Amino acid sequence: MLIFNFACLSGGGLSGCEMAKQKTAFVCNDCGSDYAKWQGQCSDCGAWNTLAEIKLGPAKGSGRAGAGARGAANKAGFAGALDSARVLQDIDLDDLPRFSSGAEEFDRVLGGGLVPGSAVLVGGNPGAGKSTLLLQTMCHLARSMDALYITGEESLQQVAMRAQRLQLPTDKLRLMSETNVETIVAAAQELKPRVLVVDSIQVVHTEEIPSAPGGVSQVRECAAYLIRFAKQTGTVLFLVGHVTKDGSLAGPKVLEHMIDCSILLEGTDDSRFRTLRGQKNRFGAVNELGVFAMTEQGMKEVKNPSAIFLDRSNEPASGSAVMVVWEGTRPLLVEIQALVDDSQLGNPRRVAVGLEQNRLAMLLAVLHRHGGLQVGDQDVFANVVGGVKVLETSADLALLLAIVSSYRDRQLPRDMVIFGEVGLSGEIRPVPSGQERLSEAAKHGFKRAIVPKGNAPKGKIKGMEVLGVSKLQEALDALD
């Protein structure tokens, strides 16, 4: 026995000692943490029985011979890296070649069009219209280039029925029903499409990982496999992703770092309008907004979103104000409503729809301290009309004036637009792109505006009276 061990250690004897050992790791299906050995509970997320074994691949060599091979390979790799490294100033700065998706609103969110070799993640709630939007886009692109649509959740007949119902051109688009990532990439290598859609990444799996589709390890490895193929071939890759109950994308968080563009399709069941918002974009502006209407013929783009969000009632009512928010690269006029009512509870309610809940509570405290209006015993409800989510602080002043209007039961002028950020000391702070916001409001027929003093234009705007305020009290006095 001693002789056998000596022979193995000396590099001679049985070849089994030179065989590479298979390396494995254990990955949590919930959070993606990896461990060297199995354990019942994940130390990071606290979930039980979620660790799955994955194969990392064999070792590349052993012993002195393996070390020599690795050394030669490392030297060759270093030489190749030096040859591929380039000086920064020698890199060509020409614009990336983009091409249109066929929809201006979709191109706007993508940063101006599709970039070859980019990976785009499209997320949204079930029934929001992700598959419909991508099917329309692919049928349009297939008329001028090779396009491949991979469906893993529906049969080929279901997709064909939807295309027929939407009256889409179906004579050019290639369709395939498959969930194995190796088979998908093999088909894409043979067909060589310029645009590839995988619907959805949660149902795709690889045989190298012994876990169910949709798990953290499966989503991560399959996405990495598809993205690597897209980068090497210059193919535009669309990945459809599901969302969880809290509105975040399902799967590992690293998925959002791997892709180039992440967009979310939002919409409520009681509204036919859908908003497409860019959450990450390496080729354009973040938080860009595109608006679509869900019709019998599919998703129709809305080129003038302000018109639909300003569809106000003919009868004037208190608690309503119009604000101008900045979405990506354009201004958007939105109506905001507030309702102040006597509370029947010991703890008055503060409800905000389309706004941040904590910011509403903070602004009510500013209104009490610096505006002299006490609503501590009142229920306060705030709503952004049209299902739009306002993420910037330019809505502060319009929200407060709408609350004051509802509390006093006094209507605001219908031709007035309001925007501005409110600070904790009651000051009105300027917001970016103030001139463009006022110009957009003037185009829609607004005659008056209350804006921060820093955003007041130096010259007059034709047909509009602009009042610049620096304190909250000045804005309240303007309503009297």
- pLDDT(340) > 60: yes
Instruction: Tell me how far apart the alpha carbons of residues 25 and 56 are, in angstroms, rounded to a whole number.
Output: 7
Burial of 336 (0-12, 13-18, 19+ CB in 10 A): buried
- Return the higher-pLDDT residue of 17 and 71: 71
Mean pLDDT of 380-385: 94
> Which pLDDT band, with edges at 50, 70 and 90, does 81 fall under?
low
> Which pLDDT band, with edges at 50, 70 and 90, does 250 fall under?
low
pLDDT of residue 13: 45
Give 104-303's CATH code, choosing from 3.30.470.20, 3.40.50.300, 2.40.10.220, 3.40.190.170.
Answer: 3.40.50.300
- Mean pLDDT over each residue of the chain, to the nearest integer: 85
pLDDT of residue 260: 95
The CATH fold assigned to 307-479 is Ribosomal Protein S5; domain 2 (3.30.230)
Mean pLDDT of 164-170: 93
pLDDT of residue 102: 92
CB 319 within 8 A of CB 339: yes
pLDDT of residue 75: 57
- Our measurement of the distance from residue 291's CA atom to the centroid of its chain's CA atoms, rounded to an integer in Å, reads 14
> Which pLDDT band, with edges at 50, 70 and 90, does 191 fall under?
very high
Instruction: Tell me how far apart the alpha carbons of residues 145 and 402 are, in angstroms, rounded to a whole number.
Output: 51
Domain ranges of the chain: 24-58, 104-303, 307-479
